[in-house]
Amino acid sequence: MASIPSHEFHDLDDNMMSPEKEFAAMDVDLAQLKQRIPLLEYLQRRNWTGCRVGAQQEFVGLCPLHPDTRPSFYVNARKNLFYCHGCQRGGDLIRFVEISHHLSFRESLAYLQRDIAVVADSELLEKTAAFYRLQLHRHPEAVEYLQQRGLQDPDLIEELGIGYAPGGNLRRHLADLGYSFALLRRTGLINHQGRDAFCRRVMFPCRQQGRVINLYGRSIGTAFPHRLLPRSKGGLFAWESVRAFSTVILVEGLFDLAVLWQADFRNVTCAIGTHLTPAQLSQLCEPPGRCIYIAFDHDANQAGQQASRLLARLLESTGLQARIVPLPPGHDPNSYFAGGATASDFLACMEQSQSL
């Protein structure tokens, strides 16, 4: 497959003068913005796959800008430029955002500035999650709590990135890494009094497309059980590893998910609660026709059962199959397994599941 001629990229470089002049009037450093978000990295974060062409920093793949059946979209990673032989469009990162999102030049800049902020927040949350992972085995009460909840597989604990927030030491750690108090406040990691937002909580990082976008903390003490940072909880938990299944088990909580994964039910995901956001519902609907087993809490006050029925109606209205798993009274999947249930026991519950 022929590489894009180098003079094409030179021509694209020359054609960038008009946006450069416009940007200068906006008092923002365009070159720095492009450096912060390399074009190839931006595309890969959005699931574009390219194959290296020869020994150069050049990649080719299907064009994300038009229906493409053969690789025609070239990216020069060194110059941060793209060109498609199919639709004859090319340019830099800003031009790609303009075309792909139908935005003006100024709107594209604002979009990329927000993207930088998201990436910066994600890097901070990644370092926070790593710090919590280190704390887990330094605090016996956290390990004991996991055992009480029936979670014992060290490989699974590592896979899920589970950690522990003892409280009182995160702010100092992140400050030593150069993060400002204002940024920690903005992300919600520090409260208005300057204290760690998470204290005596087992921590789960919530990822989307490989990036940490939120942190969930489950109290091991008397505080309110559940806490998320004041930001989007994102899509369904671990959806990238579940999306290929035609049958999906949907649970309320992350400990429900953890014990089911431990029992080798790897088609389990979680909305962190009973309410699905539009984005989470959209995930379940692609591809259409998927069968969803709803394994919510079997509460004495019927709250879990009512939430299951409401969700089943919603799923069926979108063309999905929905079946409600009848757990023993008073149990959720986590308490069921922690109480001694086996994978066979849970399979038996699934076999008794019913649609509305």
Band of pLDDT at residue 29, cut at 50, 70 and 90:
low
- The last residue of a domain, from among 73, 102, 131: 102
- Is residue 109 included in any domain, yes or no? no
Task: Check whether residue 60 and residue 18 sit in a common domain.
Answer: yes
Supply the mean pLDDT for the chain: 90
Q: List pLDDT tens digits, range 220-235.
A: 999 999 999 999 888 9
**Residue 232 to residue 250: CA distance in whole angstroms:** 19
Range of the domain at 43: 6-102
Report the percent of the chain where pLDDT is more than 90: 74
Please return the burial class of 326, using the count of CB atoms within 10 Å of its CB with bins 0-12, 13-18 and 19+.
Answer: middle
Band of pLDDT at residue 35, cut at 50, 70 and 90:
confident
- Amino acid 16: pLDDT: 46
- The last residue of a domain, from among 210, 225, 253: 210
Residue that the structure tokens 């069968």 belong to: 291
- Is residue 107 included in any domain, yes or no? no
- Is residue 221 included in any domain, yes or no? no
Q: Can you give the CATH number for the domain in which 260 is found? A: 3.40.1360.10
Strands across the sheet with 51-52, in order? 51-52, 58-61, 73-76, 81-84, 90-91
**Structure-block tokens of residue 256:** 């429900």
Mean pLDDT confidence for 142-167: 97
**Residue 82 to residue 72: CA distance in whole angstroms:** 11
Q: Which residues contact 2 (CB under 8 A, 6 or more apart)?
A: none
Nearest in space to 262 (alpha carbons), one of 108, 149, 165: 149
- Amino acid 3: pLDDT: 52
Least confident piece of the model among 54-58, 286-290, 305-309: 54-58
pTM for this predicted structure:
0.76
Q: Can you give the CATH number for the domain in which 46 is found? A: 3.90.580.10
Band of pLDDT at residue 17, cut at 50, 70 and 90:
very low
> Can you list the alpha helix ranges (DSSP code H) found in 46-104?
93-101
**Residue 221 to residue 46: CA distance in whole angstroms:** 40
Split into its structural domains, the chain has a count of 3
Q: List pLDDT tens digits, range 200-213.
A: 999 999 998 888 99
Task: Check whether residue 167 and residue 252 sit in a common domain.
Answer: no
- The last residue of a domain, from among 102, 132, 156: 102
Give kind and range of the element (H or E) at residue 257: helix 254-262
Least confident piece of the model among 276-280, 284-288, 351-355: 284-288
